[in-house]
Structure 1
Amino acid sequence: MVEINLPIKSTRHKHLKQYSIKTHYYPISAKQVSSLLNYHNHLRLSASLNKEDEQVILELETQIDGSLKTFKNAIVKIAGSCALDYTREPNQKQTNKNLKKELKNMYKREPKSLMIKQAEGKKLTKIQNSILNCFVKATIETLKVSKGKQALKLLLNSRKVYKLLLQHQEDVKNKGNKKGKVLRKKKEQKMKKEKENKTEKENQKEKEKEKEKEIEIEKEKEIEIEKEKEKEKEVEIFDEEEEEKKEKEKQVGKEKKIFLVVKKWIEIEPMFEFRGFVKNNNLTAVTQRHTEVCFPELELYAKDISKTIRSFFRSSLQNLAFLSNNKDYIIDFFIFQKSLFDDFEIKILEIDSFNNLKDPGLFNWETDQNVLFGKAKYQFRFRMKPLPNPFDMLSDVWGENIEKKLIPESVYGNLTRNIIIVVLLILLFIIFFCFILGLY
């Protein structure tokens, strides 16, 4: 299995730098985790924040600002979490603002088609799919930050980030308790040995008293033997203490780390984001990343994209020792063209462990097991048609918000208004025409 921190090692690997987006990783200490949890309560519940926590938060903001001097704009997240989850929570005001902008732009691009479909009373599936695409773009845009303070507010407003940090804190405590139990057991064993040694000494003394008639030379030899035994025991005790120290150091090294990830912001078209599955060092399947949306244009590029992905895997990833040794992993990436005349290129977003807790996209961990585990032919999947009810892919809160609150008048209201205006103009023309006829 791929290690939890493989994304950090892999994307910074010298052979993958040319394919990866520049990223900085900051390990978060137990103290920082505690301060971040308190900061979440401060933002969400207006709880007070002490000076020590304020100082820790300020230091983290400064670290992020240091990366932003290089990157200008970035995505900031906690390693192992999905950044888009932060922007899709119901209380995310910035996503609401960005969505309204995207919806207005959509109406400007395609007012006629919207008007015709509304007028004919047909299902608004295609329109809803376009709106859903706007939602995806808005959530991605919300991730773009330019200041450390802005980044931490975005992170710590999220309930999912709070739960992730809280779980990490509990895991560390539980590990600490386990380590404490192990050390206590070792101490008890050590005490038992010392007691046994004492009883042995006492018994030996009694035997020595009973053997008063033995030759003095033998007594001296016995004393020498005893001294040697004592020295050996002292060495053994010393070695045990050294082993305990080493064990502590090992346990500290094995402690699960959590990282703050600052990734350089790059404009990515959601249509060209994909997730690949690698089993036994073979690319078994690829799916579009944003599965809620149908991208009709994707069908035009599907064969070329699939060919590019498989070629990239064989030439750039399959023969890398540090990846081929792990054999199983999931890789997120996007495809782009520098110009219309250039071939497709690939940039890696993240490499993570291969397990059924990860989102399988348009595949299913149970029904598509043969494909994902390489027992069937490689498959490339993308959504061919819009969903019958696209908003069902969102949480209930977002679905209601988009349909009832966030879709501005410029999308639905303006359609009805424009139809009414057209009808009124026709009626006015008829009245005017009748008036002219009346004059004659």
Structure 2
Amino acid sequence: MVEINLPIKNTRHKHLKQYSIKAHSYPISSEQVSSLLNYHNHLRLSTSLNKQDEQVIQELETQIDGSLKTFKNAIVKIAGSCALDYTREPSQKQTIKNLKKELKNLYKQEPKSLMIKQAEGKKLTKIQNSILNCFVKATIETLKVSKGKQALKLLLNSRQVYKLLLQHQEDEKNKRNKKEKVLGEKKDKKIQKGKEEEKKNEKEKEKKNGKGKEKENGKEKEKEIEQEKENEKKNENEKEKEIKNKTEKEIEIEIFDEEEEEEEEEEEKEKKKKKKKGVEKEKKIFLVVKKWIEIEPMFEFRGFVKNNNLTAVTQRHTEVCFPELELYAKDISKTIRSFFKSSLQNLDFLSNNKDYIIDFFIYQKNLFDDFKITILGIDSFNKFKNPGLFNWVTDKNVLFGNAKYQFRFRMKPLQNPFEMLSDVWGKNIEKKLIPESVYGNLSKNIIIVVLLILLFIVFLLFILGVF
């Protein structure tokens, strides 16, 4: 199932199944949201949980376990949010554990070259780039869960998830308050209408009573004057009475029809409101359990679609430079553009929206096979989304389709790539990213190398002094 965050009635489309990862989604009720928020406080602040919250958490865990029976391993997230942000918080202990493993593998592969470069102070950016690559892989590996309990702990340790759930809860409260206000206003209007109708009815009754008295006096006078002419004009009076009765019935029917039309209009309005309420129900928050698939960070990309045309593509993990990507750049760009034209551009539900952002990854089953694409998600086209290696201001013409299509990836490592994560991890980010054991061993080795160099220089000076 492709995660689609667009104004579409049905987000499950058969055509996209072949390009998507298998996933299960569960709607989260308002009661479950409050229990999840309490569980977050329990994990981070050691607050107590009541029995209801415990039951809700257990039910969610069993739901996730049910999906894991088919998936074995999975990624669990809140729909519409970036799962990687959960694992990039400094308080995430599992990320640090995974980072230690990745760094140990890195230093096992080429320990001498890294230590020498670190000691000499040369090509330090490459070392930082490789460490940052380990960090990205560690954050991705942290998302891999095999149990419901593990999934919820990972999910609800995140402050971002807490903020998202809290915002959803506040939005629901605001909606309820608005509904209550609307209902109150409707009740007031109905009461006012009822009072006005009562007044009108009273006035009409008074008028009818006055007319009745006048008619009775007139009839008595007519009887006295026209006694002799009654026999002659009986037929005429009967005809006049029939005509009057018909006209009165027609007037009553017309009034009744007008009331019916007003009622029908009110019913139509209520139906439209119910439809709108149905649309609001579709916007519920969802828990997504997506099958775990090994993805190489180098081959994750983000595409921008404006007016149903692919305008730009960028690598997802912009903080890292992947030197190997340059070898595949042309083939990848061709594959992406041809895939968009053949598989997405002609789809009705996407062509109607015209503007959106698409995330995907590229893979090969075998070395000699063609590249294939799997869609990760489709989101709305707006400036609040991360533009990758593009900029919403300086690259506006490219992103909005007023310039030629561009495919961007990082050609060289950043001079200080850790600055990309400084907002999250704070100062001295290098020491925080590198575990103390690895960092300590590296510093010891550097000191030894420096001492050996100094001893060698002293030895040479001593020999020259002797001669």
TM-score after normalising by structure 1: 0.88
1:199 matched to 2:224: no
| In structure 2, distance between residues paired with 1:281 and 1:226 | 58
Where do residues 21-420 of structure 1 align in structure 2 (5 Å cutoff)?
21-211=21-211, 212-214=213-215, 242=267, 246=271, 249-255=274-280, 256-396=283-423, 398=425, 400=427, 402-408=429-435, 411-418=438-445
Q: Deviations over 1:222-255 (max 9, x none)?
A: 9978976896688578658756753663343132
Give the partner amino acid of 1:79: A
Q: Deviations over 1:183-216 (max 9, x none)?
A: 2222222222222211111111111221224279
CA contact (8 A) 2:363 2:371 kept: yes
Q: How big is the alpha-carbon RMSD for the aligned residues of Structure 1 and Structure 2?
A: 3.1
> Structure 1 residue 71: deviation in Å?
0.7
CA contact (8 A) 2:26 2:287 kept: yes
> Structure 1 residue 395: deviation in Å?
2.9
CA contact (8 A) 2:25 2:289 kept: yes
Closer/same/farther in 2, CA of residues 226 and 48 from structure 1, 3 Å limit? farther
Give the partner amino acid of 1:28: I
> Structure 1 residue 401: deviation in Å?
6.5
| In structure 2, distance between residues paired with 1:257 and 1:106 | 43
Deviates more, 1:264-273 or 1:215-224: 215-224
Local SS of the residue matching 1:60: helix
| In structure 1, distance between residues paired with 2:10 and 2:248 | 60
| In structure 1, distance between residues paired with 2:191 and 2:428 | 66
| In structure 1, distance between residues paired with 2:442 and 2:152 | 40
Q: Deviations over 1:68-101 (max 9, x none)?
A: 1111111111111111111011110000101111
CA contact (8 A) 1:8 1:25 kept: no
Give the partner amino acid of 1:136: V
Closer/same/farther in 2, CA of residues 58 and 234 from structure 1, 3 Å limit? farther
CA contact (8 A) 1:274 1:287 kept: yes
| In structure 2, distance between residues paired with 1:208 and 1:21 | 76
Give the partner amino acid of 1:214: K
| In structure 2, distance between residues paired with 1:325 and 1:30 | 32
Closer/same/farther in 2, CA of residues 7 and 157 from structure 1, 3 Å limit? farther
Local SS of the residue matching 1:19: coil
| In structure 1, distance between residues paired with 2:142 and 2:15 | 31
| In structure 2, distance between residues paired with 1:340 and 1:164 | 42
Give the partner amino acid of 1:16: L
Give the partner amino acid of 2:142: T
> Structure 1 residue 373: deviation in Å?
0.4
CA contact (8 A) 1:391 1:399 kept: no
CA contact (8 A) 2:314 2:389 kept: yes
Local SS of the residue matching 2:5: coil
Local SS of the residue matching 1:327: coil
Give the partner amino acid of 1:344: F
CA contact (8 A) 2:4 2:378 kept: no
Local SS of the residue matching 1:334: strand
- Count of aligned positions: 429
| In structure 2, distance between residues paired with 1:111 and 1:125 | 16
| In structure 1, distance between residues paired with 2:161 and 2:9 | 19
Q: Name the larger-Rg structure.
A: 2
CA contact (8 A) 1:114 1:415 kept: no
Closer/same/farther in 2, CA of residues 426 and 240 from structure 1, 3 Å limit? closer
> Structure 1 residue 43: deviation in Å?
1.2
What is the identity percentage for the equivalent residue pairs of Structure 1 and Structure 2?
Answer: 78
Give the partner amino acid of 2:72: K
CA contact (8 A) 1:179 1:251 kept: no
Give the partner amino acid of 1:253: G
Closer/same/farther in 2, CA of residues 250 and 176 from structure 1, 3 Å limit? farther
Give the partner amino acid of 1:316: S
Closer/same/farther in 2, CA of residues 24 and 195 from structure 1, 3 Å limit? same
Closer/same/farther in 2, CA of residues 176 and 64 from structure 1, 3 Å limit? same
> Structure 1 residue 416: deviation in Å?
4.5
Deviates more, 1:31-40 or 1:118-127: 118-127
Closer/same/farther in 2, CA of residues 4 and 268 from structure 1, 3 Å limit? closer
Give the partner amino acid of 1:172: E
Q: Deviations over 1:365-418 (max 9, x none)?
A: 111110000000000000111111110000356365652244246654434434
| In structure 2, distance between residues paired with 1:280 and 1:124 | 44
Deviates more, 1:192-201 or 1:342-351: 192-201
What residue is the counterpart of 1:4 in the other structure? 5
- Consecutive unaligned residues in structure 2, runs of 5 or more: 220-240, 463-467
| In structure 1, distance between residues paired with 2:352 and 2:190 | 41
| In structure 2, distance between residues paired with 1:195 and 1:232 | 22
Local SS of the residue matching 1:352: strand
Local SS of the residue matching 1:202: helix
| In structure 2, distance between residues paired with 1:248 and 1:54 | 37
| In structure 2, distance between residues paired with 1:73 and 1:121 | 42
TM-score after normalising by structure 2: 0.84
CA contact (8 A) 2:27 2:284 kept: yes
| In structure 1, distance between residues paired with 2:416 and 2:8 | 35
Closer/same/farther in 2, CA of residues 116 and 343 from structure 1, 3 Å limit? same
| In structure 2, distance between residues paired with 1:52 and 1:243 | 41
Give the partner amino acid of 1:293: V
> Structure 1 residue 180: deviation in Å?
2.3
Give the partner amino acid of 2:325: L
CA contact (8 A) 1:6 1:352 kept: no
Local SS of the residue matching 1:15: helix
- Consecutive unaligned residues in structure 1, runs of 5 or more: 435-440
